[in-house]
Amino acid sequence: MITLSKVGVSGRLDAINLVVNKAQHWHILGQNGAGKSTLLQIMAGLALPQHGHCLLSGTPISDYSLAHLARFRAFHGQQQVHSFAIPAGQYIDFYGAGKGAHPLPAVLTEALELKPLLSRPVTRLSGGEQQRVNLARALWQVWTAIEAGEALLVLDEPMQGLDIRHQLTFLTFLQQLCQQGNSTIISSHNLTLSARFASHAMLLNGGQQVASGTISQVFTAENLKMGYGIAFDITNNQNTLQIHPQWPPVLS
């Protein structure tokens, strides 16, 4: 679905190659400032690479109009400070292109537990609640494509601010969406959760690609040490990877 070849942005990203196929669930990992957000914006068609190119179904993504992309590509970005006390439900609806009075589907409201939030103004929600509303907004915009299994979901740190239960329910939900044929690319800071839910991962460090591929290819002690600068213990417990950083670092 998306092919990146030698994508670079000076000072941010360097020669990134990546192929994301339909129905795959990618997690982009790396330290703060590793270039995750820039990469996601390029893959969402919201920023242009300075070098290399980003192809969407074989066509440069810059050839698609924003209005066309908006029909099947969901994007969730970093938090926006709201200046108007819009009720959350109305706020989500503004982005539901052309769906008018249709109510939010139950799967979506349940996955993000939106019910108690919809009537409250966005300015009065906590950080995690705002995050859930924003995720719902992103998915609702392309809901028709999601139902058809043709959506591309690009979510920048969707788990930020969510409590552990909401992280688990949301990642399970994303996994289901991928099984229906949708492609998902998110950035993540939780290695254990990523190892459990993603189908593929990419590890960045300082704009460089450290590793990318399936979970077992990426989540090796060697790769993680290169990506994060500290050592990790990786154990396989009933087919679930347990990843623990060695802390404090052992001096060698």
Partner 1 sequence: MKRLAFTTYTGLTTAGLALITAVLLTDWQESVASEVFWHILWQLQLPLVITAILVGAVLAVSAASLQVVLHNPLADPGIIGISSGASLVAAGLLIVQPIQLAQGAPYLLPLGCFIGALLSTWLIYLVARRLRGAAMAVILAGIAISTVSGALMAWLYVLADAQALRNLTFWLMGSLYQTDWMILSVAGPVMLGSVVYQCWQSRQLNWLYGGETLAAAAGVTPEKLIKKTLLASALGVGAAVSVAGSIAFIGLLVPHFLRLVIGYNNRALLPACALCGAVVLLAVATLTEYLHLITLPVSMITATVGGPLLLLALYRGQWKVA
Cβ proximity of 182 and 101 under 8 Å: no
Is 41 or 223 the residue whose CB approaches partner 1 more closely?
41
Is residue 143 near partner 1 by the rule CB under 8 A? no
Q: Are 198 and 174 in contact (CB under 8 A)?
A: no
Other CB atoms within 10 A of residue 65 CB: 9
Of 115 and 124, CB closest to partner 1: 124
The reply on whether position 75 binds partner 1 by CB under 8 A is yes
Choose among 127, 112, 106: nearest CA to 168. Answer: 112
Q: Does 74 participate in binding partner 1 (rule CB under 8 A)?
A: yes
> By CB under 8 A, is residue 140 in contact with partner 1?
no
Three-class SS state of 166: helix
Q: Near partner 1 by CB under 8 A, which window of 53-61, 75-83, 110-118, 184-192?
A: 75-83
Sketch the per residue contact string, 159 through 188, with partner 1: x for CB under 8 A, - otherwise.
Answer: ------------------------------
x/- track of binding to partner 1 for residues 79-118 (CB under 8 A): -x-xxxxxx--xx--xx-x---------------------
Tell me: does residue 67 bind partner 1 (CB under 8 A): yes
3-state secondary structure of 53: strand
CB of 240 to partner 1, least distance (A): 34
Structure tokens at 35: 């270039």
| Lookup: tokens for 24 | 């795959």
Q: For partner 1, which is the closer residue by CB, 10 or 83?
A: 83
- Under the criterion CB under 8 A, does residue 245 sit at the interface with partner 1? no
CB count in 10 Å sphere of residue 37:
17
Residue 243 to residues 88, 189, 220, 231, 237: CA-CA distances in angstroms?
Answer: 37, 12, 10, 10, 10
- For Cα atoms 79, 84, 89, give the angle at the middle one, nearest 5 degrees: 75
Q: Are 215 and 227 in contact (CB under 8 A)?
A: no
Q: Quick check: 137 binds partner 1 (CB under 8 A)?
A: yes
CB 141 within 8 A of CB 70: yes
Provide, rounded to whole angstroms, the least separation between the CB of residue 46 and partner 1: 5
* 121 near partner 1, rule: CB under 8 A: yes
Q: Which residues bind partner 1 (CB under 8 A)?
A: 41, 44, 46, 65-71, 73-75, 77, 80, 82-87, 90-91, 94-95, 97, 121, 124, 134, 137-138, 141
